[in-house]
Structure 1
């Protein structure tokens, strides 16, 4: 494929990287769309003050052949402006919001201009009393999150900004940030006509703590324990893409036993995460029996994860080149004993949940999302597959040994409603059990070996500059890490220059501003719950 104004082209391990001149940014993105690259994944930036440039990255997938392109360009630091790609790829809209508030890049033609006359901040406060107006914290000379204003919250009152852009023909109610249905501090300003939602304004940032900036202050290995905390429900899901990107930059290979242990940890975590999702959705539609059962059965897999990694939630298990510990003695026997009992519980859970009339009323036919819309807005993981799109990174863009003799099938829905999103997760639990059975058999056949000896050969940080994108198909979708190493700068020799988290929860939640319209208020809340959100991951 030819690109206009091409500056550089490289083959990454999982994508084609192409840098173009900034004046051809939009034109080349349009060409990508014409070539069938319809699935926007990520858009972010990296600051290069020595070059007086800020580099923007846009990752897009083509589903039919599982190919990916990273389109990049560099803009002048003193004139940070690019045309918005949201008219081509609606799913990049909120990525552009975030890139603006973190780097100050103005995306001309962004949809926010039509309604608010500016690009709105999503994670940072727009109130200058809370965060300096012209500070873009991921620019290297900005000061980041240091020396923020000291706030007396008793004196802080609302501003007129909170009422900007509201429609006069609607009644607005604020759901959140402590509403029981939101499952975490996030809010939605909903414009209602009667009981019908006609306008959705998501409000994020309640637990934003600037973790991408914090990662830049830590040595490479010390980032891993912090990643676990971004989604406490599935810490492995963020460890994996980070070490994957670091291994690519360092050219480190992972032996088969370590691959199998990673898969084991990831699939155990997938099961317990999906069980929590099923129970939470059931609870919110008043099927309390299912909630109690899933909490009980989830403990089985939490205990197995603790036996494997030493931790129940924040695992700190993966390392560049391998994992922290080998399989404990007797693990396979314990697993087989407890899972035999779980199988009986699981089939009863499915039967009870699907036969429940309340679940059927709140799930079947509610909040249907077409395959076209799911792709357009950048959905991934079980939510995308529930809309009938057979896109599973473990299968379509295999990594970490999933394609080396592991037999499993992707779970795909057909209607894309709340019920399909639940059914896909039921089936994924079955497939994860199938994967684990194969992994344990192969681990047993291979026998124990000394993983620690292998890990000692891996240096603690990259010796050369590099950029890589690591990914993992987590219980919530495509967890992605864009990692940049710049050891030529002495200050950053042992620390990452840039760590960006591509959060599927961020993408799914922001898409509600379009996909949530036309629903009853009660169905909007059920729709949001059906997306399986983790607020800390979304806000970072």
Structure 2
């Protein structure tokens, strides 16, 4: 690693973050330009510099088909979500009508993003479905219908996904209240109770299950929603022929808390603790994309010290998350001892996290423009002790778990998919790298100074349950290397940027300067007011790519916060992975995905 020097300018550290990006223009997509013909798209300027095009509804399908198959294809449907534009203060600046559908595409070959938007009137909330082009569009379109009421024509199963079937309304619409106290008191009369009970009845046809053989019956089995092997409140409806799976249909939403709705009524700073509860095993890794998206929107530049500390803490939580995955993976396939050893090791690292941040799992320690506080005295001694200790333990776990012949027989060749299939289903992180594709945002799009660190991106070739675990084991070794470089080359500097939107400001200034004190009072009581604009930032999180897209209309809270989590699309692939296998194989597949239901449901 290049030693980070204290005298490196703040401008220099911020510039490094975007060196990978070559801005995409419509001229770089001549085939798309010709397709749109005499109705050229309107371009929108955004803080993230992603090419953003507004196109007509009837142009969408042809444009998507072209973008997926053209040279340097945009073959990764990164995200799909809606926006209710009706109360937006800067609405007149956009071609938006009442609602907007946003399609965020990614080209791994180009290492570039493209954002297409379609404006919709409230009276015509119909869009063609993309399921025939991207199978991963299925859940995203169901989510947009569930939360906004946008109908997707020709969708194979357009039903609620995050909310119960009896739910009334579409909660991300602006007229839907943010607080329960804004509604009438809850009442459960006999009729409503009867309706709710009727909705619980299981009809295989509602789940898309059909009898493939007329000469015998199938067994239908609920796995979950409360079962240790589903790692949270998660249900899978199984259609079985003996012990072999004919169909497996995931049922999510039991953990949905309306995080994106909550963001509309919290200040920019006040929403940081809520991000910790998305992937609740990721700790500050959840703060990372959120604060980076805000800093990108507001033009805030942080010091090299802040970048280094953020990287160090993020890699600590990568190890913590992977340790729990490793232990539960072994437990799910029959090894009980490893998880107890790994919990002991997690406690050692949690003790260091608590010494630095004051909390363990949910420290909410990253701030807009910096950190909550500087590193305490003696932090490097504790961190160095763990860095020296843990690699030897990993070697022992490699022998105990990964070299175990029973575990290999249970997981090799199970839940296998190729790189092409992974891209079809929106798979990122270790699940994608296990297929042999070395795609890691820390390398492809280095942020927070990651290009200053020497580390490898582990990959595998089989793309099965075993490989997904092995990749994560190797990622822990690489995280240790990164943390060691942070200890050795921790730069000097401020832990908070000198910017009026940084919240809270450096206490040394607020106690001496009345203008800083006033700004501090306003930022804490009302929240900082960010400039108008749109900003998306993605990081390589513990379970894959995690991104926050923030839309500001110039107020003290977000007009729209979109949380793109990796676990949401990962679970969508379960029916493909499980078909034809046995129930015991499904348990190994679930263990290898490494999902958290709060990350799925938000």
Q: Same fold (TM over 0.5)?
A: yes
SS at match of 1:451: coil
Matched residue, 2:537: 470
What is the CA distance between 1:158 and its match in structure 2? Answer: 3.6
Q: Larger deviation: 355-364 or 500-509?
A: 355-364
Corresponding position: 1:106 with 2:145: no
Contact 1:287 1:358 in 2 (8 A): no
Unaligned stretches of 5+ residues in structure 1: 113-118, 488-492
Matched residue, 2:556: 494
**1:246-325 to 2 correspondence within 5 Å?**
246-325=294-373
What is the CA distance between 1:365 and its match in structure 2? Answer: 1.7
SS at match of 2:163: coil
State how far apart, in whole Å, the 2-side matches of 1:54 and 1:531 are. Answer: 34
CA deviations over 1:381-420 (Å, ceiling 9, x no partner): 11111122211111112222112x2111111110011110
**1:338-417 to 2 correspondence within 5 Å?**
338-403=386-451, 405-417=452-464
- Within the candidate set 95, 119, 126, 1:74 is matched to 119
Contact 1:249 1:462 in 2 (8 A): no
Matched residue, 1:27: 62
Structure 2 vs 1, CA of residues 453 and 419 (structure 1 numbering), >3 Å: closer, same or farther?
A: closer
- Within the candidate set 549, 568, 585, 1:523 is matched to 585
Matched residue, 1:121: 160
CA deviations over 1:230-249 (Å, ceiling 9, x no partner): 22211222211111111121
State how far apart, in whole Å, the 1-side matches of 2:187 and 2:438 are. Answer: 50
- Within the candidate set 172, 188, 194, 1:138 is matched to 172
State how far apart, in whole Å, the 1-side matches of 2:577 and 2:532 are. Answer: 41
Contact 1:81 1:108 in 2 (8 A): yes
**Any runs of at least 4 consecutive aligned residues in structure 1 with deviations exceeding 6 A, and if so which?**
none
| Matched pairs, number | 520
Matched residue, 1:490: none
State how far apart, in whole Å, the 1-side matches of 2:49 and 2:325 are. Answer: 30
What is the CA distance between 1:92 and its match in structure 2? Answer: 1.7
Unaligned stretches of 5+ residues in structure 2: 1-28, 92-96, 504-522
State how far apart, in whole Å, the 1-side matches of 2:302 and 2:136 are. Answer: 34
Q: Larger deviation: 392-401 or 4-13?
A: 4-13
Q: Larger deviation: 262-271 or 168-177?
A: 168-177
SS at match of 2:229: coil
Q: Larger deviation: 426-435 or 338-347?
A: 338-347
Contact 1:322 1:455 in 2 (8 A): no
What is the TM-score with the length of structure 2 in the denominator?
Answer: 0.83
What is the TM-score with the length of structure 1 in the denominator?
Answer: 0.92
State how far apart, in whole Å, the 1-side matches of 2:559 and 2:138 are. Answer: 25
Structure 2 vs 1, CA of residues 456 and 312 (structure 1 numbering), >3 Å: closer, same or farther?
A: farther
Structure 2 vs 1, CA of residues 158 and 388 (structure 1 numbering), >3 Å: closer, same or farther?
A: farther
Corresponding position: 1:95 with 2:140: yes
SS at match of 2:202: helix
State how far apart, in whole Å, the 1-side matches of 2:432 and 2:128 are. Answer: 28
Matched residue, 1:49: 86
SS at match of 2:447: coil
Contact 2:125 2:151 in 1 (8 A): yes
- Within the candidate set 227, 230, 241, 1:182 is matched to 230
Corresponding position: 1:58 with 2:80: no
Structure 2 vs 1, CA of residues 331 and 370 (structure 1 numbering), >3 Å: closer, same or farther?
A: same
Matched residue, 2:487: 440
Structure showing greater relative contact order (alpha-carbon pairs closer than 8 Å, 6 or more residues apart): 2
What is the CA distance between 1:338 and its match in structure 2? Answer: 2.8
What is the CA distance between 1:15 and its match in structure 2? Answer: 2.9
SS at match of 2:374: coil
Matched residue, 2:14: none
Matched residue, 2:9: none
**1:174-213 to 2 correspondence within 5 Å?**
174-213=222-261
State how far apart, in whole Å, the 2-side matches of 1:215 and 1:70 are. Answer: 22
User: Highest Rg: 1 or 2?
Assistant: 2
CA deviations over 1:275-318 (Å, ceiling 9, x no partner): 10000010111111211111111112212222222210111111
Structure 2 vs 1, CA of residues 86 and 336 (structure 1 numbering), >3 Å: closer, same or farther?
A: same
Matched residue, 1:482: 549
Matched residue, 2:4: none
- Within the candidate set 325, 330, 337, 2:385 is matched to 337
Corresponding position: 1:15 with 2:15: no
SS at match of 1:220: coil
Matched residue, 2:269: 221
- Within the candidate set 236, 239, 254, 2:287 is matched to 239
State how far apart, in whole Å, the 1-side matches of 2:365 and 2:499 are. Answer: 13
CA deviations over 1:345-398 (Å, ceiling 9, x no partner): 221111111232321121122111111111100001111111222111111122
SS at match of 2:458: coil
Provide the aligned C-alpha RMSD in A: 1.9
State how far apart, in whole Å, the 2-side matches of 1:283 and 1:220 are. Answer: 40
What is the CA distance between 1:162 and its match in structure 2? Answer: 3.1
SS at match of 1:90: coil
SS at match of 1:518: coil
Matched residue, 1:458: 502
State how far apart, in whole Å, the 1-side matches of 2:418 and 2:149 are. Answer: 34
Structure 2 vs 1, CA of residues 456 and 308 (structure 1 numbering), >3 Å: closer, same or farther?
A: farther
Q: Larger deviation: 284-293 or 257-266?
A: 284-293
